[in-house]
Structure 1
Amino acid sequence: MSSIFAISLATAAIGAVVILIARFRLNPFIVLFTVSILLALIAGMPADKVVGSFEAGAGHVLGHVGTVIALGTMLGKMLAESGGADRIALTISNVAGRRRVDWAMMLIGLLIGLPVFFEVGFVLLIPLAFVLAERTDTPLLRVALPMGAALSVTHALIPPHPAALLAVSAYHANIGRTILLGIVIGTPIAIIAGPLFGRFASARVIPVGVNPLAKQFVSSKPPTSLPGFGITVFTILSPVMLMLIGSVADRITTPHSGPSTVLHFIGNTDIALLLATILSFYVLGQARGFSRETILRFTNECLGPTALIMLLIGAGGGFGRVLVDSGVSKSITDAALGAHMPLLILAWMLAAIVRIACGSATVAMATASGIVAPILASSTGVSPELMVLVTGAGSVAFGPMNDAGFWQIKEYLGLTVPQTIKTWSALETLIAVCGLVFCLIASIFVH
């Protein structure tokens, strides 16, 4: 398959998805499924493998993200119903002031996002964003976009996030220097793509209609009796702390020993969220006077609005898998490798291409660093630490529709597909481009 044909086919497929959903108001799941099938057939993929490829991609994504969304939504519901989200929102607005809640959410996102994947950080913090926006009379986008930008920056640029650690290992970079450079370069990027872009976007993009997710996380009147700030924050941070423990298990115990296995187990994303959710049933449920029947009703009713999100995330994963299995993404990657460009730009471009192809920033980072690492090993004058950062920047480029985050943002914030492209896709691209530019500037001084 020629690179020109592959690029044209991928562009046409993405354009068709946008037009069919936005212009003709067709069901997004049906559109993604249909376009994926047509793309595979046009690319020459055997007809008997097309549906299996889509199903494999959808299942792979939902196997992880579906569990995260379900548990995170239950935890968020308990925060909302108990008044815990109101307690944190009140504290934040008192400390930061109503005019700076977006800056506060960016800082919270940077801290929460360090050990967890984007989807996990998002479901933990989005109830807080809903309540904070409502109680301070601030546009939801102005609060939520800085939070999302911070989570995305930590995902891409700052170890010990799992995605960044993959590239650190591939490039044999010094983790201390990478963390330092990641903070120096990542912080201004988070500010530009977060509060600054968030204020610009929220003034121009106005969600329309009633957001069912906002309704379930925000009560019309704040509860009269609120839980303590300390226990509420502990409940939110408990999965983050468990994941941090899991990430350092081999450093504080003997690898592959019994204690190490236990710590890795409780530090698993799904287990950590499960334990935090069960904890919330007591400290934000029974301890607040809710009966078991009431807690069961909360956890059942909150899952209804997430059904469409899960379907769309699965369809996006299927779309990405078809791009890979059909050979479209490989043809585009081969074209980039043949362009003979500087290593920093090559790593960024390859990560961006894989990002468009499969949707996952983690996969994009791992794939691009695996391709470029052997080239870096035989080169001189290029900082391995900057290679980590520039690969991470490229891995979040474009915020494509086959990324779970795209549909999470769209559905949770009540946006249309064009509005999501104008806000989230633009924000992700801003992070990627700023990351490339800042790394190129830093390469003048860092070797």
Structure 2
Amino acid sequence: MTGLVLAALAGIATIVLLIVWLKIHPFLSLMAGSAVMALAAGVPLDKLFNSFTTGLGSTISSVGLLIVLGSIIGTLLVSSGGADVIVDTILSKTPVQRLPWAMALIAFIVGIPLFFEVGVVILIPVVMFAARRAKVPVVLFGIPALAGLSALHGLIPPHPGPLIAISALKANLGLTLAFGLIVAIPCVIISGPVLGRMMARWVPHQVREDFLGHSPAEGARRPGFGASLTVVLLPVVLMLAATVAEMTFGTKNPVGAFLGFVGTPLIALTITTVVAMFVFGYGLKKSRKEVDKIVGSSFGPIAGILLIVAAGGGFKQTLVDSHIADMLAKGLLAAALPPLLAGWLVAVVIRLATGSATVATITASGIVAPLAAGLSPTHTALMVLAIGAGSVFLSHVNDAGFWMVKEYFGMTVGETFKTWSLMETVLSVIGIIAVMLLSLVV
């Protein structure tokens, strides 16, 4: 048992060393960490990467397609101006004093089909414009927007982290989505508008004018607010409908079977992709060539994400096949920690070490999978959310998001810790508290 513990530590330490100190790409770092862990666990050299390649392939097949479809939807949404329509409509109907809450709502809605980094790039000009119009510190609006995006990133499918954890723990997607939305609400409210008001007094920087030149071209044909919002929410509605139908009609009823089919992640996102191509493309008189070009442009930016996610799946499979995950799970059980709290703590440790929420989610899911095997469907879904909450804990200097926020808001490293890092920590803690409280009633 001691040897397996050391093997796991050696693998994780290798990943941390390569990512944090040597600045090696996470894909290669995860691959190297898997090799070190397998060697330390006594795996023969000729089978060194067998588990890694198996896990890589299964992760791409289960999650990779969803990431690709999500990227297509997000790219169509942005390129058509649909994201701007949603943002502009909400801002135009919101009094200035309620704009922090509006920013959190905008981020929550627009962030559903978008990756965190893409959401930040889209919303930063909106945050800057609104802060300048209201003559308030940029943090007052920026922190609520970032809280909305971060909560979606860590808790809500079809974002990669939650999808990976759902696959690894064999959780029910509809339950996870429903509970994730419940948990995300207090997380966003407390770490966003409420905390942002205090932070605006601590860091009262005004808007950086150089970020105000990114507004969309005037006069371009854009989709309506209702159509844009419908496309954004369509996959969520389909997934939730599948769960409700399963509970109401059962899988043998024709209605339940149909809704269950269209509510599976791959089918729901495929349907949404087709709808998005018409609403954000052909419906705006774009030619097939133009729509094809937009779809093609969505693949490049996610190549790195796909590789990291796939390599994380390989690392997880190495953990599983070497029985290290079983042993670590037994250790957590022996520590008499509640399973949900144990899942959160494992994700927190890996997040602090690697700076990556995705790596933290993948690795933690592999470690606690044996713990989740004995849980009810509802508590398995909550385990996914516990891991997701832990994966966003205390972003610091080894996280690319830390530097992105620092530069956009023109803050020092210390000010970034007092705002962005604190917001992430509060969101994570509120998340696990909400998960634990929810576990008492479901």
The alignment's TM-score, normalised by the length of structure 1, stands at 0.68
Per the alignment, residue 57 of structure 2 pairs with: 59
Q: Which amino acid aligns with 1:233?
A: L
User: Does 187-196 or 243-252 show the bigger shift?
Assistant: 187-196
Per the alignment, residue 224 of structure 2 pairs with: 228
**CA spacing shift, 1:307–1:266, aligned 2, 3 Å:** same
**CA spacing shift, 1:320–1:279, aligned 2, 3 Å:** same
Per the alignment, residue 282 of structure 1 pairs with: 278
Per the alignment, residue 18 of structure 1 pairs with: 19
Counterpart contact for 2:150–2:392, Cα < 8 Å: no
Per the alignment, residue 255 of structure 1 pairs with: 251
Q: 1:123 aligns with which of 114, 133, 139?
A: 114
Q: Distance in 2 between matches of 1:271 and 1:354?
A: 30
User: Cα deviations across residues 393-440 of structure 1 (Å, max 9, x unaligned)?
Assistant: 632254289xxxx9997999999xxx9xx8999877654544555677
Q: Distance in 1 between matches of 2:334 and 2:327?
A: 11
Deviation at 1:54, TM superposition (A): 0.9
**CA spacing shift, 1:253–1:63, aligned 2, 3 Å:** same
**CA spacing shift, 1:55–1:435, aligned 2, 3 Å:** same
Deviation at 1:145, TM superposition (A): 4.0
Per the alignment, residue 152 of structure 1 pairs with: 154
What is the aligned length?
388
Counterpart contact for 1:153–1:189, Cα < 8 Å: no
User: Cα deviations across residues 68-113 of structure 1 (Å, max 9, x unaligned)?
Assistant: 2222222222222222111111112223467866643544676799
Per the alignment, residue 81 of structure 2 pairs with: 83
Counterpart contact for 2:242–2:260, Cα < 8 Å: yes
Matched, 1:325 2:321: yes
Matched, 1:135 2:133: no
Q: 1:368 aligns with which of 368, 371, 390?
A: 371
Q: 1:292 aligns with which of 288, 294, 299?
A: 288
| Secondary structure, counterpart of 1:248 in structure 2 | helix
Q: Distance in 2 between matches of 1:75 and 1:289?
A: 18
**CA spacing shift, 1:435–1:228, aligned 2, 3 Å:** closer
Q: Distance in 1 between matches of 2:220 and 2:402?
A: 32
User: Does 310-319 or 331-340 show the bigger shift?
Assistant: 331-340
* Structure 1 segment 164-243 matched on structure 2, within 5 A: 183=182, 187-195=185-193, 221-222=217-218, 224-243=220-239
Deviation at 1:293, TM superposition (A): 1.1
Counterpart contact for 2:75–2:298, Cα < 8 Å: yes
Counterpart contact for 1:352–1:364, Cα < 8 Å: no
Q: Distance in 1 between matches of 2:282 and 2:266?
A: 23
Per the alignment, residue 46 of structure 1 pairs with: 44
User: Does 228-237 or 256-265 show the bigger shift?
Assistant: 256-265
Per the alignment, residue 301 of structure 1 pairs with: 297
* Structure 1 segment 424-443 matched on structure 2, within 5 A: 430-436=426-432
User: Cα deviations across residues 249-271 of structure 1 (Å, max 9, x unaligned)?
Assistant: 23454532443332222111121
Matched, 1:399 2:402: no
Counterpart contact for 2:195–2:423, Cα < 8 Å: yes
Deviation at 1:33, TM superposition (A): 1.2
**CA spacing shift, 1:324–1:262, aligned 2, 3 Å:** same
Q: Distance in 1 between matches of 2:300 and 2:438?
A: 48
RMSD: 4.9
| Secondary structure, counterpart of 2:128 in structure 1 | coil
Matched, 1:348 2:341: yes
Deviation at 1:66, TM superposition (A): 1.9
**CA spacing shift, 1:370–1:302, aligned 2, 3 Å:** closer
**CA spacing shift, 1:350–1:24, aligned 2, 3 Å:** closer
Per the alignment, residue 357 of structure 2 pairs with: none
Counterpart contact for 2:320–2:326, Cα < 8 Å: yes
Q: Distance in 1 between matches of 2:171 and 2:59?
A: 24
Q: Distance in 2 between matches of 1:261 and 1:370?
A: 26
User: Cα deviations across residues 313-371 of structure 1 (Å, max 9, x unaligned)?
Assistant: 11122122222322333222222222345xxx454115644896872777778643444
Matched, 1:339 2:366: no
| Secondary structure, counterpart of 1:237 in structure 2 | helix
| Secondary structure, counterpart of 1:45 in structure 2 | coil
Structure 2, unmatched stretches of 5+, are 130-137, 158-162, 205-212, 351-359, 408-412
| Secondary structure, counterpart of 1:59 in structure 2 | helix
Per the alignment, residue 359 of structure 1 pairs with: 362
| Secondary structure, counterpart of 1:226 in structure 2 | coil
**CA spacing shift, 1:283–1:102, aligned 2, 3 Å:** same
User: Cα deviations across residues 180-229 of structure 1 (Å, max 9, x unaligned)?
Assistant: 9995x76433334445677969979xxxxxxxxxx9xx775355443211
Q: Distance in 2 between matches of 1:442 and 1:231?
A: 34
Counterpart contact for 2:372–2:383, Cα < 8 Å: yes
Q: Distance in 1 between matches of 2:43 and 2:319?
A: 10
**CA spacing shift, 1:30–1:91, aligned 2, 3 Å:** same
Q: Distance in 2 between matches of 1:372 and 1:136?
A: 42
Q: Which amino acid aligns with 1:152?
A: G
Per the alignment, residue 74 of structure 1 pairs with: 72
**CA spacing shift, 1:67–1:322, aligned 2, 3 Å:** same
Q: Which amino acid aligns with 2:362?
A: G
The alignment's TM-score, normalised by the length of structure 2, stands at 0.68
Per the alignment, residue 265 of structure 2 pairs with: 269
Q: Distance in 2 between matches of 1:240 and 1:181?
A: 11
Counterpart contact for 1:393–1:431, Cα < 8 Å: no
Counterpart contact for 2:104–2:192, Cα < 8 Å: yes
| Secondary structure, counterpart of 1:79 in structure 2 | helix
Per the alignment, residue 160 of structure 2 pairs with: none
Q: Distance in 2 between matches of 1:312 and 1:168?
A: 22
